Structure 1
């Protein structure tokens, strides 16, 4: 081959390649646009595990996109009141929130099923229902009417039954109590004589200290110790039959989420899934030491009696029957969870319960 002709052809090929690269650059830029989103949380920074899920999501998304997609988390009240986070997302004031569905049951009681309902699913069942049981699809079908899209982004595990100024020995001891309690649990509690109060986490301690409320539930030992509830209430009850495995969600403005490139949607979805798993792991790793600290400070640990649980369970079933009769959104989500729960507990009692029961006996006997 003529040497001059060879280099001329090679040069032309090089120019063609350079032209292809220059044409490709705008397409790549469109697939990975520079975006800056704001995330409002319903939780204060002092609750580092639950608020930390929001920062985990932001970090994961930024690292996965080379800094092209940044999310700035804001704590409760910094830019949006904590119990208005979802409203701000729906309105487009912010693109994203980290919050609990059941804070918004005033709009529709079906929101409660996105977080937890009394005598509902435990944490593993909650994650399984959302991930593999059709729960996430059903929830988002409902949320579409509110201009929202949600992904599970945290779970605390079974919570504690709260802090009380007096012992709760019988169901009558609940009558007349003013209690901070969220979601449908408040409605069920009202059936047994409690006056429910919905108060943001940052205001609970002051309300209990001042006597504005007589009792409060929140999360569990790790958070409750940090919030200092043991200083103003002596009795710490378990379990929170109203929150066996409550989910925390990342809420997105549905239009904003749908406008994202598909790779960004996947990155956000994976970031939320990782934060979801990490939150539960961190609570499981932290609650035991915190419980020891609480007991060392004089906290009286108490279990709700089975007679109290039975009365509350009956009140919960009555509530669900009433809501299902008049609210199709609630009925559809509730019946899906109920069917899933029946099978899940059928399986759980075979292997998991048998193994855990034996191992807990060994722990109590000091044989671990």
Structure 2
């Protein structure tokens, strides 16, 4: 075919193709999304994770992709964000997966379960193990695709108005605890309360609850729990490393260009690392300040820990027998946890134990 003939025949298609390409770019150029958080603005660590993410998305897109972040209760209740994303009311959310165990207990594995993985192990399972793959297969039932959204590290066990001498003191105790862990608290004789972060102080102050856990010293100090409950217990055996998640509506995500999808992935990874670093850097000073205020630090009684471990393992066996979603994800999670603990036993745990006993 002669060059002039080719141009004549291909000209219209070529012009249309050339015109179409910029139109696609232009459609993406002024994209605006809304993100519903489950957390109050006062917490620059956990709520701030979504702001860090949104800022990085804007930076990486040259200001073309903007995501407005809304605190829990602004657009929808803190525990309503899964419904909001699933139904397309908002394009995405930032939350703790275990809040939604009432829909399916499997949600909790994507966040934290009692005597589960620590933060490094959770990151390894998500990024190099089957964690992200398995959780996304599960979340697809809810019209959601997930990205890691931060980790708090191991948490404290919470604030108690009265001291705990033994497991027996858990009986009848009204305890605000995050999501799924309440199932184990209930098996220990406690009365779990699932209350959003912004409402905990008032409930604790009024005596509506007897105890409450949130995350750790830095956030707990901001929320003022030491003023109304002087006994601070550790460790948070139900949250060895809470994984936060960014939930995106699958249709909204599918409509993104390849470039914007890559930006979402990069920004979530950045926000994930940033949150962990903030908690590790800020918790030590906050703990020192709390101790200086005469907060009473104490480990949970051993019989309580032993009973909690036993009941947790029994619960997981029961769930595996009746919930196919749970069994599929937990089987892989448990195998990964076993191997990780074997490895950490000879390395991380031994090193940490020695360093923490050394006089530096």
TM-score for the superposition, normalised by structure 1: 0.91
> Which of 175, 197, 219 is equivalent to 1:223?
219
Query: After superposition, what is the alpha-carbon deviation per residue over 1:243-292, rounded to whole angstroms, capped at 9, x for unaligned?
Result: 00010000001111112111111110110011000000000000000001
Name which of 199, 205, 208 aligns with 1:209: 205
Residue equivalent to 1:315:
311
Q: Which residue of 1 aligns with 2:295?
A: 299
From 275, 281, 284, the equivalent of 1:279 is 275
Aligned to 2:190: 194
Q: How many residues align?
A: 345
Match of 1:95 among 91, 94, 106: 91
Q: In 2, are the aligned partners of 1:149 and 1:254 still within 8 Å (CA)? A: yes
Counterpart mapping for 1:99-248 below 5 A: 99-248=95-244
Per-residue deviation, 1:23: 6.7
Q: Specify the alignment match of 2:48 in structure 1.
A: 52
Q: Which runs of 5+ in 2 are unaligned?
A: 1-13
Distance in 2 between the 1:185 and 1:25 partners?
55
- 1:203-226 CA-to-partner distances (Å, cap 9, x unmatched) read 000000011100001000000000
Decide whether the 8 Å contact of 1:43 with 1:75 is kept in 2: yes
Inter-partner Cα distance in structure 2 for 1:321 and 1:161: 24
- Once superposed, which parts of structure 1, at least 4 consecutive aligned residues long, lie more than 6 Å away? 20-23
Kept in 2, the 8 Å contact 1:117–1:183? The answer is no
What is the root-mean-square deviation of aligned Cα atoms in Å?
A: 1.4
Residue in 2 that maps onto 1:42? 38
In structure 1, the residue matched to 2:65 is 69
Q: Structure 1 pair 21/275, CA: closer, same or farther in 2 (3 Å)?
A: farther
1:30 maps to which of 24, 33, 50: 24
Task: Give the whole-Å Cα distance in 1 for the aligned partners of 2:304 and 2:100.
Answer: 27
Work out whether residues 175 and 211 of structure 2, in 8 Å CA contact, stay in contact via their aligned partners in 1. Answer: yes
Measured in 1, the distance between the counterparts of 2:231 and 2:15 equals: 69
Contact 2:150 2:273 in 1 (8 A): yes
| In structure 1, C-alpha distance between the alignment counterparts of 2:221 and 2:23, rounded to whole Å | 48
1:336-367 per-residue CA deviation (whole Å, 9 max, x = no partner) reads 110000110111111212222221111xx2xx
Paired with 1:159 and 1:21, the residues of 2 have a C-alpha distance of 60
The Cα of 1:22 is off from its aligned counterpart by 11
1:258 aligns with: 254
Q: Which runs of 5+ in 1 are unaligned?
A: 1-19
| 1:2-52 alpha-carbon deviations (Å, 9 max, x no partner) | xxxxxxxxxxxxxxxxxx999757524514432100001001110001111
**Equivalent-residue separation in structure 1 for 2:165 and 2:123 (angstroms):** 34
> Is residue 148–residue 268 contact of structure 2 (8 Å, CA) maintained in 1?
yes
Report the Cα distance in structure 2 between the residues aligned to 1:137 and 1:173, rounded to whole angstroms. 41
The 8 Å contact of residues 167 and 301 in structure 2, kept in 1 or not, is answered as: no
CA distance in 1, matches of 2:34, 2:173: 39
Task: Select the residue among 327, 330, 333 that pairs with 1:331.
Answer: 327
2:9 match: none
Task: Determine helix, strand or coil for the equivalent of 2:54.
Answer: helix
1:305: Cα distance to partner? 2.5
Structure 1 residue aligned with 2:357 = 361
Cross-structure match for 2:342: 346
- Quote the offset at 1:115 in angstroms: 0.3
